[in-house]
Structure 1
Amino acid sequence: MVKIKVPATTANIGPGFDTLGLALNLFQTITIEKKESKEKEIIWPDEVLVSNQENLVIKALEHALALKNQSDLGYTLTMLSTEIPISRGLGSSAAAIVSGLYAANYLLGYVFSQQELINIATALEGHPDNVTPAILGNLVIASSIHNEVIHASVPFPNDLELVVLVPNFKLNTSESREILPKTYTKEQCVSNISRVSLLIHSLLTKDYTHLKIALNDFIHQPYRFTIIDDSQLLIDELVASQAYGYFLSGAGPTIIAIIDKGLIGFQKSINILDKGFQHHWQILTIDVNKSGAIVEVIK
């Protein structure tokens, strides 16, 4: 039996639409055990969050087994816990898919390479920006070319951390994608290319002079913020704070700020009580995950 821990992820990081992803120290955790029989047993120690039919862990697991014509393999899958809020833009679906693929790879005797797992996960998820850092950890640049994911890792500076603001409402990814324009101007595209370049330079050199500008985006954030309640009020708070900048996490509605690690009193500085907010926003200080998915053998 093995325990599998897969980190949450945040995609886009401002201007890196469908290209950049960053792993976070929040985890989906499962165990998987082989059975001699063909029986497939699903255990939820706590509350059942989704039905077995909608469970992406099971879907990914069964998909990978089918790829190797091993759908009859029996197992006990225990959905231990998830710290990742569902439908909040923190890669809950990517973590579930990666968990299922790693579970299947264990059952099959580790027949899939890491690159193959990335390719399969991307095919299931639809884009590589969440699943790739969920597997590799850290900040990842990823692109799909002819069904092969090309990726490169960028070490996220240890002197920075993330303040993650999670609301008590969900936002469907498909709804958040539908609001985006079908076409963009050359100026919008050039602006985003320049911001991505500045962002990667800032992180690699640890020169944060232009980090606030580098997190600007003209492709998705201006449109998505319009359908996220409280977003302008929260942005106003972040702009006035000591944060280097902020960005929408994936398709939203979670918003993330980048700050100096250990910045004292930052959470209090963006206290949103009595500010006219419609919803409650949970404020979490989270480190970047550097390990990616982990498989631990349990005797």
Structure 2
Amino acid sequence: MLKIKVPASTANMGPGFDSFGMALNLYNEFEIEETDKDIIFLEAGEPSSIPLSENLIYNSMVKAFDKYNYKFKGLYINVIKADVPLSRGLGSSATCIAAGLKAANHIMNNIMSKQEILNLATEIEGHPDNVVAALEGGLDVSLVENNQVVYSKIDPPEDLIFAALIPDFKMSTSNGRKVLPSEYTKEDCVFNISRAALLISVFYNKDFKKLRTCFQDKIHQPYRGESINGLKDIFETAKELGSLGEFISGSGSTLMVVLDKNNTNFLNKMQSYLETTEATWKIKLLQPDCNGTEVTVC
């Protein structure tokens, strides 16, 4: 039996569209093993209502098995902990892909290299930002070149915490992409390139007073933000409560607020403000996860 723990992730982080991803200490956990027969898919020990055709863990495993011509008889998959909310921009699909590929690789006696796992995970997900962070942990800048994932990982500063503002409404990644323009001006591209580069420098140098500038973006947030009622007011309130910067997590609907770890007033005051808005919001104070996916053999 394998126990697999996979972190949530926040992607884009403002200007890093489809290339920046950071793992967070919010987790999905799975039990997976190969069996002699049948395919059993459980959630917290109970039969899952999700059809097998839509089970991303199972489909990721089959993708790996097919690639390496491995014939399995049966599988036992149990989602024992599901703390990463679905369709909220926190990498829930990436946790399933990472768990499925890590489990399949172990069952196949670790035939896949780290690079091959990253490549296949990105092929399944469609972009590398969330899956690289989920697998490797930390803050990762990633891209695909000649069908190979290339990434660089840094450990985010310990001085920061990340407040995830999670609403009661979902936003799918596919719908989030439909609202984006097909072309951008040179000025908008330069705007994002400069801020993406500055963000990495600021994290390295702990020059946090510049973070709000770093999270500015003209590629996706202006368009996706229109679907999140009250976004500007929420971000303005966060600023008034001492935040260092704010951005849409992934394609939304979660909003991420970056705080100094010593900011003890934010949580209660922001929660009070959010209770005056139309949606219902939960706030989770999170820290970066630097370990990525962890596999334990039981």
TM-score, normalization by structure 1:
0.95
Structure 2 CA distance for aligned equivalents of residues 134 and 80 of structure 1: 18
Structure 2 CA distance for aligned equivalents of residues 124 and 274 of structure 1: 36
Cα 1:274–1:4, aligned 2, differ >3 Å: closer, same or farther?
Answer: closer
Structure 2 CA distance for aligned equivalents of residues 154 and 274 of structure 1: 33
Q: Is the 8 A contact 2:37 2:73 kept in 1?
A: yes
Structure 2 CA distance for aligned equivalents of residues 228 and 49 of structure 1: 29
Deviation, structure 1 residue 51 = 2.6
Deviation, structure 1 residue 268 = 2.0
One-letter code aligned to 2:141: I
Task: Say which is worse superposed, 266-275 or 129-138, in terms of deviation.
Answer: 266-275
Structure 1 CA distance for aligned equivalents of residues 73 and 164 of structure 2: 40
Q: Quick check: 1:258 aligned with 2:258?
A: yes
Structure 2 CA distance for aligned equivalents of residues 132 and 274 of structure 1: 32
Task: Say which is worse superposed, 102-111 or 160-169, in terms of deviation.
Answer: 102-111
Structure 2 partner of 1:119: 119
Q: Deviations over 1:80-133 (max 9, x none)?
A: 121100000000011111111111111111111111100000000000000001
Q: Deviations over 1:185-244 (max 9, x none)?
A: 111100111101111011001111211111111111011100112322312212222010
Q: Gaps spanning 5+ residues in structure 1: where?
A: none
Structure 2 CA distance for aligned equivalents of residues 217 and 178 of structure 1: 18
Paired residue secondary structure (1:210): helix
Task: Say which is worse superposed, 207-216 or 126-135, in terms of deviation.
Answer: 207-216
Deviation, structure 1 residue 274 = 7.4
Structure 2 partner of 1:42: 41
Q: Deviations over 1:156-189 (max 9, x none)?
A: 0011110000000101111111111111111110
Cα 1:274–1:188, aligned 2, differ >3 Å: closer, same or farther?
Answer: closer
**1:99-248 equivalence runs, <5 A:** 99-248=99-248
Deviation, structure 1 residue 275 = 6.4
Structure 2 CA distance for aligned equivalents of residues 269 and 234 of structure 1: 12
Q: Is the 8 A contact 2:15 2:195 kept in 1?
A: yes
- Number of aligned residue pairs: give it: 297
Deviation, structure 1 residue 72 = 2.9
Deviation, structure 1 residue 28 = 1.3
Paired residue secondary structure (1:271): helix
One-letter code aligned to 2:294: I
Q: Is the 8 A contact 1:245 1:257 kept in 2?
A: yes
Segments of 4+ moved more than 6 angstroms = none
Structure 2 CA distance for aligned equivalents of residues 72 and 154 of structure 1: 37
Deviation, structure 1 residue 50 = 2.8
One-letter code aligned to 1:215: F
Structure 2 CA distance for aligned equivalents of residues 249 and 183 of structure 1: 22
Cα 1:38–1:87, aligned 2, differ >3 Å: closer, same or farther?
Answer: same
Structure 2 CA distance for aligned equivalents of residues 10 and 30 of structure 1: 20
Q: Is the 8 A contact 1:119 1:149 kept in 2?
A: yes
Q: Quick check: 1:29 aligned with 2:29?
A: yes
Structure 1 partner of 2:85: 85
Q: Is the 8 A contact 1:121 1:131 kept in 2?
A: yes
Structure 2 CA distance for aligned equivalents of residues 31 and 262 of structure 1: 37
Cα 1:160–1:104, aligned 2, differ >3 Å: closer, same or farther?
Answer: same
Q: Is the 8 A contact 2:275 2:281 kept in 1?
A: no
TM-score, normalization by structure 2:
0.96
